[in-house]
Amino acid sequence: MREERGKVIVALGSTNPVKKRAAERAFRKAFGEVEVIPVEVDSGVPPQPVGEQAVEGAVNRALAALELVPSADFGVGIEGGLFSFSNKYYLAGFVAIIDRSGKMSTGMSGWFECPSALVPRLLRGEELGDIMDELTGHEDTKRKEGAIGFFTRGIVKRSDLYEHGVLMALAKFISPLWPE
């Protein structure tokens, strides 16, 4: 399929340019020529996923995207979420990748500690992007540098974080030694 046409087609379950940039960079590193087709899909989870909801949202996005783009080799879902671990809360992106045969692989971006002042608001369902817009005075932060961009003064951007997660999820598809 993809070998015949020389280009990998990726259906991305989001129209967010940050997620598109991350998927393009990761798939290009793994496969060379790539076309990422962003499609608007419903994640099936709340706007601010917590824990397993991020996993569910990423899988739902990948499946829906693959269904909407019949020419795609892969469906990709990326869902940012809040995760509890060792008595702290962390922010990270969960990634699901599904190929045409139904094979699925998952991965995560790097985690970073969520400021404790934001946790109650996130647990009440406020979306991180909205909170960051309020804190920074910028609009549409989630479609630009993201919270990590703000907290690292631009050293790490949201697309960098998500690219890492996509690469982690691609391991199963690119490793010749992956045991099934």
Q: Over 90: is that where the pLDDT of 85 sits?
A: yes
pLDDT per position as a tens digit, 121-166: 999 999 999 999 999 999 988 888 889 999 999 999 999 999 999 9
pLDDT per position as a tens digit, 91-102: 999 999 999 999
CATH top-level class of 2-113+157-174: alpha beta
Domain range annotation of the chain: 2-113+157-174
Q: What mean pLDDT value characterizes the chain?
A: 94
pLDDT per position as a tens digit, 27-45: 999 999 999 999 999 999 9
- The span from the CA of 133 to the CA of 82, in Å, is 18
Enclosing H/E stretch for 74: strand 74-85
Total-model pTM? 0.93
Give the phi and the psi of residue 34 in degrees, each rounded to 5: -145, 150
Give counts: helices (H), strands (E), the chain: 7, 6
pLDDT at 5: 57
Concatenate the DSSP letters of all residues of 79-148 into one string: EEEEEEETTEEEEEEEEEEEETT--EEEEE---EEPPTTTHHHHHTT--HHHHHHHHH--S-GGGTTHHH
